[in-house]
Structure 1
Amino acid sequence: MKKNLQTAFSTRQYMLSQDFEIYYYSDFYLSQVKNHAHSYYEFYFFLEGNVTMIIEEKEYPMRPGDVVLIPPRAQHHAVIRNQENPYRRFVFWITEEYCNSLMEISSDYAYLMQHVKVTKNYIFHTDVVIFNTIQSKVFGLIDEMRSKRFGREAKISLCVNDLILHLNRIVHEQNYPKSVREELNLYQGLADYIEENLDGDLSLENLAKQFFVSKYHIAHIFKDSTGLSIHQYITKKRLAACRDAILGDVGISQVYPMFGFGDYSSFYRAFKKEYGISPKEFKDMQVTL
């Protein structure tokens, strides 16, 4: 562990910087810090010790590798018990203004902050490999902030942004494991394909051929994602396109073949079931408005 990067602990609970501050603390005995809140985000990376975090009156026993995000105005404090091993942690403060500036670059920077605010889930467990990567990024940032090398300010910004984006990615991937993300990507790809090919062959057999998956898997994904069978989903999309075309003054006899209906009778039945009136009644109603 890099002792030369440690900081003497201070009970100060306000920022001196306009953007962010980061500290590496290692202590054997500390006075208890009273319950408090910040006007900025506090990231807390727990390394070692016998500590319980109290956040919004709920207790969270800490274990090595835990990442904590405490949003602005959330009441919190640490309960530190006497121990043989030191109490070691990184503390990273970052202002709402700086986070907002990152959101202008990409909304991906805000995923974790928004997740914490909505779910009130402040603690994220990581394994040794994931936490070692975080620790490496943190030490790189602290080392750069203490350096006088050429390009220091630019490098610090890169390190901060990289750390925040990396934390967002970790939590997003915890919430959406690979199998779930793959299914979401497949569903979105299918939905886009359907939208662009309403006049084409949208049979399960053809979709399975286009996306190299089984038709049963496609049917399962659509049912789980939309609550509809894929046939119902496609029909609704085609009917909506027909309705919009009728509103655009396209003739009914021209509309239904444009969007994949094989004959007028099937189009008529589907339209009336969906909207409660016939295509002609719908068109006449628009004319009288």
Structure 2
Amino acid sequence: MKKNIQTAFNTRQYMLAKDFEIYYYNDQNLAKVNLHTHDYYEFYFFLEGDVSIQIGDKEYPVQFGDIMLIPPHRPHRPIIHNMKTPYRRFVFWISEEYCNHLLHISPDYVFLMQYVQVNKSYIFHNDQISFNAVQSKVLRLIEEMQSDRFGRNAQITLCVNDLVLYLNRMIHERNNLKSRNEESSLYQRLTDYIEDHLEEPLSLEKLAEEFYVSKYHIAHVFKDNLGLSIHQYITKKRLALCKEAILGKMSIKETYQTFGFGDYSSFYRAFKKEYGISPKDFKDMQIVKYD
């Protein structure tokens, strides 16, 4: 480890920078740290130490290669069991605002943040090879932040985004090593649930709460199985029911209200896009056909 990247430990629990901060700590005489919260995401990359991390009422033992993500406003603290071994770790802070910025670039950047919030699973164990890949990206970011080379600021942004995306990809791909049967089961349960609740408000957030998985994971599983987004699928299913209802002589107003369309204008646009004809013209055409 390069000595010049080490930072003296500071009890400060707020960010000085707007978007992110990163530190390498190596402590042998660390005072007790009380439970605390902060308004940003905090990554720990553990290197060494006889340490556990308390989050809420639960204590998590950690070892070399463990990565922990603590969401905003979640009480936590390190618990030092033995200071004979140095407590060494990287700490990476990233603001909610910057995460929202990344979200607008691609939801892939924040899969991990959403996963942790939904599943309350904060710690990820890694073998040495996997952790070394992460560590090299962390070191590259720290070294770039300490440099004065041309393009420094642009390169720092690239390093941060690369690190965040790499962590998201690593955890997402690890989760997706589960059997296709399990994914197919989730997909089938999703379609069954949607089928039974088409008349109710449906959203990724609602489905994530119902099935206790990340909304981004749901979106990926659904797109992989059907090639459509959940929103597209729900809209098509609702339109098919609306078409059948109109054929069954239900009024247009009752139809779109019954099957989950909030107002006529959104129903009109979706119906015409799907079938190439307005709901009224379709209804009139059926009246002429059967008169």
For Structure 1 versus Structure 2, the TM-score category normalised by the shorter chain is 0.5 to 0.7
State the Cα deviation string for residues 90-130 of structure 1 (Å, max 9, x = none): 00001000000000000001100000110111111111111
Displacement after TM superposition at 1:27 (Å)? 1.1
CA distance in 1, matches of 2:112, 2:157: 19
CA distance 1:58–1:247, shift in 2 (3 Å): same
CA distance in 1, matches of 2:27, 2:154: 32
Q: Which segment drifts farther, 76-85 or 157-166?
A: 76-85
CA distance in 1, matches of 2:176, 2:14: 35
- Residue in structure 1 matched with residue 69 of structure 2 by the alignment: 69
- Residue in structure 2 matched with residue 174 of structure 1 by the alignment: 174
Displacement after TM superposition at 1:180 (Å)? 3.5
Q: Does 1:156 align with 2:161?
A: no
Is the Cα–Cα contact under 8 Å of residues 137 and 163 in structure 1 kept in the other structure? yes
Give the superposed CA RMSD.
Answer: 3.2
**5+ residue gaps in structure 2?**
188-224, 227-235, 248-282
**5+ residue gaps in structure 1?**
188-224, 227-236, 249-282
CA distance in 1, matches of 2:176, 2:8: 39
CA distance 1:154–1:242, shift in 2 (3 Å): same
Aligned-partner SS, 1:81 = strand
- What amino acid maps onto 1:85 in structure 2? T
- What amino acid maps onto 1:72 in structure 2? P
- Residue in structure 1 matched with residue 217 of structure 2 by the alignment: none
CA distance in 2, matches of 1:97, 1:3: 32
- Residue in structure 2 matched with residue 94 of structure 1 by the alignment: 94
Identical residues among aligned pairs (%): 60
Aligned-partner SS, 1:167 = helix
Is the Cα–Cα contact under 8 Å of residues 41 and 93 in structure 1 kept in the other structure? yes
Aligned-partner SS, 2:85 = coil
- What amino acid maps onto 2:127 in structure 1? D
Bigger-Rg structure (1/2): 1
| Paired residues, number | 206
Displacement after TM superposition at 1:178 (Å)? 7.1
Counterparts of residues 249-264 of structure 1 (less than 5 Å) = none
Q: Does 1:119 align with 2:93?
A: no
CA distance in 2, matches of 1:43, 1:51: 16
Aligned-partner SS, 1:21 = strand
Is the Cα–Cα contact under 8 Å of residues 38 and 74 in structure 1 kept in the other structure? yes
CA distance in 2, matches of 1:125, 1:58: 17
